[in-house]
């Protein structure tokens, strides 16, 4: 299995529930390392650009409004097969379909307020990581 990096966003609903630490712990307990992280308030322009791929979808405006409704915690996760592993730990996009023990099952209230975002492919992970982080802000475990 290759060592990969992937982008995680802890969304405003989870930040409001005060579970940043609990969510990060789940990543660590499942073999992923947090190799970069920051707490920030997205601007409308940033949220629209980040989710540009969904611009034509009916939920785009609600998605952007939600993502700027409060601060988020963005991080880079690193580990074996990190993209897929993160998606397994998060659970299905719609919490009604999320498996027991996943982040979305435990913390998400709806498909909009679904606690976390994670990159869906290695290619998108690279793009999404570069959207939020400079190279010198990421300290890979492989370099230590």
User: Active-site residues: which are they?
Assistant: 117
Burial class (CB in 10 A: 0-12, 13-18, 19+), 20: middle
**Which tokens belong to 134?**
């400079």
Taking CB under 6 A as the criterion, the residue among 31, 69, 112, 139 binding ligand CMP is: 112
CA 135 to chain centroid, in Å, comes to: 18
Q: How many residues bind ligand CMP (CB under 6 A)?
A: 8
Dihedral (Cα; 54, 55, 61, 63), 10-degree rounding: 20
Q: Applying CB under 6 A, does 6 fall inside the site for ligand CMP?
A: no
Q: Applying CB under 6 A, does 83 fall inside the site for ligand CMP?
A: no
Taking CB under 6 A as the criterion, the residue among 84, 93, 124, 139 binding ligand CMP is: 93
Residues in contact with 44: Cβ distance below 8 Å, sequence separation at least 6, in sequence order: 64, 68
Q: Which backbone phi and psi does 6 adopt, to 5 degrees?
A: -145, 160
Q: Applying CB under 6 A, does 5 fall inside the site for ligand CMP?
A: no
Taking CB under 6 A as the criterion, the residue among 86, 104, 117, 138 binding ligand CMP is: 117
Site string for ligand CMP, 61-80 (x = CB under 6 A): --x-----------------
- Site of interaction with ligand CMP (CB under 6 A): 54, 59, 63, 93, 111-112, 114, 117
């Amino acid at each position: 299995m290759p060592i990969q990096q992937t982008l995680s966003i802890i969304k405003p609903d989870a930040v409001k529930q005060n579970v940043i630490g609990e969510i990060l712990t789940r990543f660590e307990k499942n073999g992923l390392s947090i190799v970069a992280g920051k707490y920030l308030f997205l601007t409308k322009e940033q949220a629209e650009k980040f989710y540009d791929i969904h611009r034509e979808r009916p939920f785009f405006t609600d998605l952007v409004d939600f993502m700027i409704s409060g601060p988020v915690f963005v991080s880079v996760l690193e580990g074996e097969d990190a993209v897929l592993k993160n998606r397994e730990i998060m659970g299905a996009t719609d919490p009604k379909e999320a498996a027991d023990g996943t982040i979305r099952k435990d913390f998400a209230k709806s498909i909009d307020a679904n606690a976390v975002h994670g990159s869906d492919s290695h290619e998108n992970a690279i793009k999404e990581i570069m959207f939020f982080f400079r190279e010198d802000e990421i300290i890979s475990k492989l370099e230590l």
